[in-house]
Amino acid sequence: MSNRFINILVPVVSIILGLIVGAIVMVFSGYDPIKAYIALWNGIFGSPYAMGETIRQISPYILAGLAVAFAFRTGLFNIGVEGQLIVGWFAAAYIGMAVELPAIIHLPLALLAAAVAGALWGLIPGILKARFGVHEVIVTIMMNYIALHTVNALIKSISGGSYKTEKIHETASLRSEFLSNLTDFSTLHYGILVALAMVIVMWFILEKTKTGFELKSVGFNDQASQYAGMNVKKNIVLSMLISGAFAGLGGAMEALGTFGNIVSRSAFTGIGFDGIAVALLGANTPLGVVFGASLFGSLTYGAGNMPNEAGVPIEIVSIVIALIILFVASGYIIRVVLSKMSKKKEAK
């Protein structure tokens, strides 16, 4: 079996195995797995509306995944994507609502605000790590809580005591009538283009620029990088900055696309944490993140159709989806089994 073939086969087998185990769970719980999976399929691809919503769901996952993956490539574990996303969300919602500008300036400005906010939120743990050696995992986790509650307080203060901000102006919106009509009134917005553009940006930074060379080098081996005269501290800070900017843009997807405002939250969005899984599924490469986010996004969104169309309760659905993702993530094991099988065949 050629390597290339195995590379394609592994995710496919993983998904199928996940589906089978999920089906067993459903059979034991007394639900029809075939009906449920048809519902899942329809929930993802079944109609222009479903496809629109699926893509809408994928966009923030891509950006959160990029954020985690980018930091990973520099040897940093950015668990703070969640917080960076929330501050980005707020910044975009605020700029979208508070200023009035022509769309050509307003939308980019709101996106930029989100990126800057996320970047600043990533900068703090970056500096603490580089300057004082404080582990970024601890700092970023704490920064998540600070982000959540600070943003809640800000929402309250700028909205005059309400739990949500006013809607953003049309000029800052990523929504478009065109996309809406195309997908039968889904909440699909142009954010997916922003996300894909960032995929290219990440690829370009890592694969084409001098900065990317340094970031990767520091990520693989900071000591050798230091010996080669690179400024390791600067690269750590820079990496967190860029990672945070991606996360902040993820928040902009929600602010300027999906919701059009920000509502005070009592818990995290979860997108930032799912970003870790997305990045790992995608082996921390830009293209891989698109794959991971697509899988994650379509499963999460499509799963919503399983109670809707097949009557499977949401709890069972969550188990099934988690199983599928688990199997994909453990594709390594399947890879080992496959290569062993192929070896045996060759031996015969």
Partner 1 sequence: MSKRKFGLALSMVLAAGTILGACGTDKDKGDSSSKGDADKESFSIAMVTDTGGVDDKSFNQSAWKGIKEYGAAHDLKKGDGGFDYLQSSEAADYAPNLNKLVQREFDLIYGIGFLMKDAIEEIATQRKDTHFALVDEVSDLPNVASIMFKEQEGAFLAGVAAAKMTKSDKIGFVGGMKIPVIERFEAGFVAGVAAVKPDLEVDIQYTGDFAKAELGKAAANRMYSSGVDIIFHAAGGSGNGVFAEAKERKKADANANVWVIGVDSDQYEEGQVGDDNITLTSMLKRVDNAVKEVAELAAKGEFPGGEVKTFGLHDDGVALADSRGAIPEDVLAEIDEFAKKISEGEIEVPEFVKKK
Partner 2 sequence: MEYVIEMLNIRKEFGNFVANDNITLQLKEGEIHALLGENGAGKSTLMNVLFGLYQPDGGEIRVRGKTAAITDPNVANNLGIGMVHQHFMLVENLTVTENIILGNEPKKMGMINVKAAAKKVAEISKLYGLDVDPYAKIEDISVGMQQRVEILKTLYRGAEILIFDEPTASLTPQEISELMAIMKKLILEGKSIIIITHKLQEIMDVSDRVTVIRKGQGIGTVITAESNPEELATLMVGRQVTFKTEKTPSNPTEEVLRVENLVVEDYRGIPKVKGLNLSVRKGEIVGIAGIDGNGQTELIEAITGLRKVKSGRVIIDNKDVTGKKPRQITETGVGHIPQDRHKHGLVLDFSVGYNAALQTYYQKPNSKNGIMNYKVISEKAKEIIDMFDVRTQGEHEPARALSGGNQQKLIIGREVDRNPDLLIAALPTRGLDVGAIEFIHKRLIEQRDNGKAVLLLSFELDEVMNVSDRIAVIYDGEIVDTVVPSETSEQELGLLMAGHTKDEMPIVVEEVGLKEGGDHHVK
**Residue ranges in contact with partner 2 by CB under 8 A:** 208-214, 216-217, 220-221, 223-231
Q: Which DSSP letter does residue 189 get? A: B
Of 96 and 260, CB closest to partner 1: 260
Nearest Cα to Cα of residue 48 among 242, 178, 143: 178
**φ, ψ (nearest 5 deg) of residue 101:** -145, 160
Binding partner selected for residue 213 from partner 2, partner 1, none, CB under the kind-specific 5 to 8 Å limit: partner 2
Q: Which of 10, 14, 18, 57 binds partner 1 (CB under 8 A)?
A: 57
Of 19 and 280, CB closest to partner 2: 280
Residue 176: both structure tokens together: 């478009």
Cβ 76 to partner 2 shortest distance, Å: 16
Told to check if 103 binds partner 1 by CB under 8 A, we report: no
**φ, ψ (nearest 5 deg) of residue 158:** -80, -20
Of 267 and 348, CB closest to partner 2: 348
Q: Is 10 exposed, middle or buried (0-12, 13-18, 19+ CB in 10 A)?
A: buried
Told to check if 89 binds partner 1 by CB under 8 A, we report: no
Question: Is the CB of residue 280 less than 8 Å from the CB of residue 325?
Answer: no
Cβ 226 to partner 2 shortest distance, Å: 7
Binding partner selected for residue 108 from partner 2, partner 1, none, CB under the kind-specific 5 to 8 Å limit: none
Told to check if 82 binds partner 1 by CB under 8 A, we report: no
Question: Is the CB of residue 59 less than 8 Å from the CB of residue 192?
Answer: yes
Told to check if 307 binds partner 1 by CB under 8 A, we report: yes
Of 155 and 241, CB closest to partner 1: 155
Q: Which residues lie across from 164 on neighbouring strands?
A: 263
Binding partner selected for residue 345 from partner 2, partner 1, none, CB under the kind-specific 5 to 8 Å limit: none
Cβ 223 to partner 2 shortest distance, Å: 5
Helix 81-98 vs helix 103-132: angle between axes, to the nearest 10 degrees? 150
Of 18 and 304, CB closest to partner 1: 304
Q: Which DSSP letter does residue 159 get? A: T
Q: Which of 263, 280, 322, 329 binds partner 1 (CB under 8 A)?
A: 263
Cβ 204 to partner 1 shortest distance, Å: 30
Please give the Cα distance from 116 to 110 (Å, whole number): 10
Please give the Cα distance from 160 to 146 (Å, whole number): 21
Of 17 and 58, CB closest to partner 1: 58
Of 170 and 207, CB closest to partner 2: 207
Cβ 226 to partner 1 shortest distance, Å: 43
Please give the Cα distance from 300 to 309 (Å, whole number): 15
Binding partner selected for residue 263 from partner 2, partner 1, none, CB under the kind-specific 5 to 8 Å limit: partner 1
Of 267 and 347, CB closest to partner 2: 347
Please give the Cα distance from 69 to 63 (Å, whole number): 10
Cα–Cα distances in angstroms (integers) from residue 181 to residues 52, 157, 239, 247, 302, in the given order: 10, 36, 39, 29, 21
Told to check if 308 binds partner 1 by CB under 8 A, we report: yes
**Torsion sign across C-alpha atoms 45, 198, 4, 339:** negative
Of 223 and 266, CB closest to partner 1: 266
Residue 90: both structure tokens together: 């707020």
Cβ 212 to partner 2 shortest distance, Å: 8
Cα-Cα-Cα-Cα torsion 118, 172, 261, 243, nearest 10 degrees, comes to -20
Please give the Cα distance from 250 to 83 (Å, whole number): 11
Told to check if 207 binds partner 1 by CB under 8 A, we report: no
Please give the Cα distance from 217 to 143 (Å, whole number): 27
Told to check if 162 binds partner 1 by CB under 8 A, we report: yes
Which positions lie near partner 1, rule CB under 8 A? 47, 49, 53, 57, 152, 161-164, 167, 170, 180, 185-187, 254, 258-261, 263-267, 269-270, 301, 304-305, 307-308, 311, 314, 318
